[in-house]
Amino acid sequence: MATVKITLPDGAVQDVEQGTTPLDIARSIGAGLARQTVAARLNDRLVDANAPIRQDAALQLVTLNTPEGLEIYRHSTAHLMAHAVKELFGKEVQVTIGPAIEGGFYYDFYSENHTFTPEEFDRIESKMAELAAADLPLVREDVHRDEAIALFREMDEDYKVELIEDLEEDTVSLYRQGSFVDLCRGPHVPSTGMLKAFKLTSVAGAYWRGSEDNAMLQRLYATAFPDKKDLKKYLARLEEARKRDHRKLGRELDLFSFNEEAGAGLVIWHPKGALLRTLIENFEREEHLKRGYDIVMGPQILRTELWKTSGHFDNYRENMYFTEVDEQSYGVKPMNCLAHMLIYKSKKRSYRDLPQRYFELGMVHRHEKSGVLHGLLRVRGFTQDDAHILCTPGQLDGEIKGVLKFVQDIMGIFGFEYELELSTRPEKSIGSDEDWNRATSALHSALDDTGLDYEINEGDGAFYGPKIDVKLKDALDRKWQCATIQCDFTLPERFDLTYVGSDGEKHRPVMVHRVILGAIERFVGVLIEHFAGNFPLWISPVQAKVVNVTDNQAAYAQQVCDQLRQEGVRVQADLRNEKLGFKIREAQVEKVPYMLVIGDQEMEAGTLSPRHRSGKTLDAMTPEAFADFIREECRLYH
Ligand SMILES: [Zn+2]
Ligand SMILES: [Zn+2]
């Protein structure tokens, strides 16, 4: 019997019979390892765990507890789902493709007559469980493409036929499990018995191959875990995220809306939402003034010639909106930098004037593809808390450290933890090697000084310079991009910005683009989900709601409301002739922090009885005392 040499990752070499499978080797090491093995890397090529080994090779087992192993497990569960659907619906439904994705997998089906609904998920899951319990082996077959085309044509699987016709190879691989056969490169788990915990989560429409010109398919989303406990945990989190979805809460709390008549990805802020973001913006203005920034404002459209000078026209044109007036072309700003440079250039600068720090809550427009738009998180028009710092090369380190400290302060006030990343030069970029190296090392040294850990993303920088990205972590442990700090040696060059140094000579300033919260729209979206709509008092658009017990106190309640408003409390009155319990419940749904109950007793004593949205009640107090209390509570934040 011929043998082959297998080199394991620890360097050990085994002589095994030719035709031995990776799974056999896993078994020879231990039954536990065999149960965990879903596939293998043979000389770095992914293969099935039950693929016979024909020649000497380096072998690495792919186990369930690795991201790659989990992906194979989930993709194999996609086959199981397609198998179940075919068992249940037969030729009524055609199969297409089913990849693993972040958090799970999907499978796209075509059907002329059947529309999948969540009510059927149970039935499909039961069938999947039945097929998993049967422990069907997944068997790979390599066949000639013509044979595969004939096979799928006979089964009326038109999409599979089209897929094979587009392949260049003569030989294609099929995977069979029981009566089900699918075209796939693999690898897959050795048998369906390995697939233990799965759940269908949603159904959505998707075009075949992502093109609107093609047929509309039905995409069944699902997830799978090797362990039932992990599946349960994941589903609980998914449910929590669904409850906190900012689009749903945005509607319920009447914060904002989108309207196709106005245009996709363009936010319309309703009174409470507009007030919420105004509160955040006012806070930001104060914090910037405290740190030596100047508030500036530039125009919304600037001449296209200027965008050519800046390089945006060449590098960013496809994401910009343009308009023409009086035979003059203008670009709607996708970034706020240009006006800030014109402010710098408006007079002669000396080294004593530096650094200049220009801050603008600047609204920008960027054309995002319609497919990626997502509530407030991905929009086409948004406001950045943007600043540009122009300084001498010698000041760069200190300025970047100052921004990182600023980020730390602001994240602390909102109560977010965060992670830092450094992104280096991308393929498509402008500027010299020397500039890039200088900028990158300035960011490195500032990051090192924070004492915090940071990751490096090679090639992920902006086209005009390297950057630091800050990702905050929300209550569900999800990460969101907020602050970025970008060095730029290029724009000062292109706009010929200079300052007179202590030597009396002209020098080039360095430019830093930076945002702290990023896009206000996106940040509000993150806040809504993080707090599940229960905003901290200092940014709650409505801090208190006055509710009277009977009509008898209506006039007094209105007077209290007016008085509190005078004192700067954001307050509303609910004086409807409804039961108190009903009014309190409504205020709770609106997530108003305090309800101020007024009955005969309060009216006679000239007081109000506050009740927190958590159900906790405070002793009756005068309106003045309540206003002081609110001011004090808000001061605790900053
Ligand atoms: Zn597959
Ligand atoms: Zn900028």
SS3 label, residue 600: helix
**What tens digit of pLDDT does each residue of 301-357 get?**
999 999 999 988 988 899 999 999 999 999 999 999 999 999 999 999 999 999 999
pLDDT 10s digits, 491-505: 898 999 999 999 999
CA geometry: angle at 142 spanning 137 and 146, to 5°?
Answer: 130
Q: If you ran DSSP here, which 8-state letter would residue 86 be given? A: H
- Choose, from 79, 188, 199, 337, the residue flagged as catalytic: 337
- CA dist 378 and 373 (Å) reads 5
Spot the catalytic one: 246, 272, 388, 583.
388
Q: Rounded to 5 degrees, what are φ and ψ at 361? A: -80, 85
Please name the amino acid found at residue 192: T
* pLDDT surpasses 70 at 638: no
pLDDT surpasses 70 at 265: yes
Q: Which helix (H) or strand (E) holds 618?
A: none
> Rounded distance, CA 219 to CA 221, Å?
6
Give catalytic status of residue 144 as yes or no: no
Report pLDDT digits (tens) over 556-576.
Answer: 999 999 999 999 999 999 999
What pLDDT sits at residue 463?
79
Coil, helix or strand at residue 270:
coil
d(CA 19, CA 62): 19
- 434 pLDDT above the threshold of 90: no
Preceding amide of 426 cis, omega within 30: no
Question: Parallel, antiparallel, or unpaired for β 510-519 and 381-391?
Answer: antiparallel
Look up residue 352 and give its DSSP letter.
Answer: G
Tell me phi and psi for residue 339, to 5 degrees: -60, -35
Tell me how crowded residue 239 is: count the other CB atoms within 10 A of its CB.
Answer: 10
pLDDT at 430 over 80: no
Q: Per residue in 468-480, pLDDT tens?
A: 999 999 988 889 9
pLDDT tens-digit readout, 504-516: 999 999 999 999 9
Distance CA 52, CA 266 (A): 56
96-141 pLDDT tens trace: 999 999 999 999 999 999 999 999 999 999 999 999 999 999 999 9
388 included as an active-site residue: yes
Q: Considering the chain, what percentage of its residues have pLDDT values greater than 90?
A: 88
Token representation of residue 474: 């929300």
Q: Which pLDDT value is given to residue 371?
A: 82
**pLDDT given for residue 379 in this prediction:** 96
Which of 384, 543, 553, 572 is flagged as catalytic?
Answer: 384
Ligand 1 center to 16 CA (angstroms): 29
Residue 43: half-sphere exposure toward Cβ, Cα within 13 Å: 6
Q: Report the separation in Å between the CA atom of 513 and the middle of ligand 2, taken as the mean of its atom positions.
A: 4
Q: How far apart are CA 235 and CA 225, in angstroms?
A: 11
pLDDT at 387: 98
Spatial distance between the Cα atoms of 331 and 322, rounded to a whole number of angstroms: 4
Collapsing DSSP states into helix, strand and coil, what is residue 173? strand
Q: How many Å lie between the centroid of ligand 1 and the Cα of residue 48?
A: 11
pTM above 0.75, yes or no: yes
Q: What is the pLDDT of residue 450?
A: 80
Q: Which residue has the tokens 């599946």?
A: 231
- Beta bridge partners, 62, equal 39
User: In 3D, which of 271, 280, 281 has the Cα closest to residue 572?
Assistant: 271
**Confidence bin at 435 (pLDDT 50/70/90):** confident
Cα 388 to ligand 2 centre (Å): 6
Mode of pairing for the β-strands spanning 322-325 and 479-488? unpaired
Helix axis angle, 520-531 to 228-244, nearest 10°: 120
Give me the pLDDT at residue 370, please.
85
Distance 181 CA to ligand 1 centre (A): 10
Give me the pLDDT at residue 431, please.
76
Question: What is the tens place of the pLDDT at every residue in 31-84?
Answer: 999 999 999 999 989 999 999 999 999 999 999 999 999 999 999 999 999 999
Mean pLDDT (the chain, rounded): 94
The tokens for 453 are 């850990």
Selecting among 386, 435, 488, 574, the annotated active-site residue is: 386
* Tens-digit pLDDT profile for residues 205-221: 999 998 889 999 999 99
Q: Is 268 exposed, middle or buried (0-12, 13-18, 19+ CB in 10 A)?
A: exposed
Q: Is the dihedral of CA 30, 33, 39, 41 positive or negative?
A: negative
Structure confidence at residue 637 (pLDDT): 75
Exactly one of 467, 507, 522, 545 is catalytic; which is it? Answer: 467
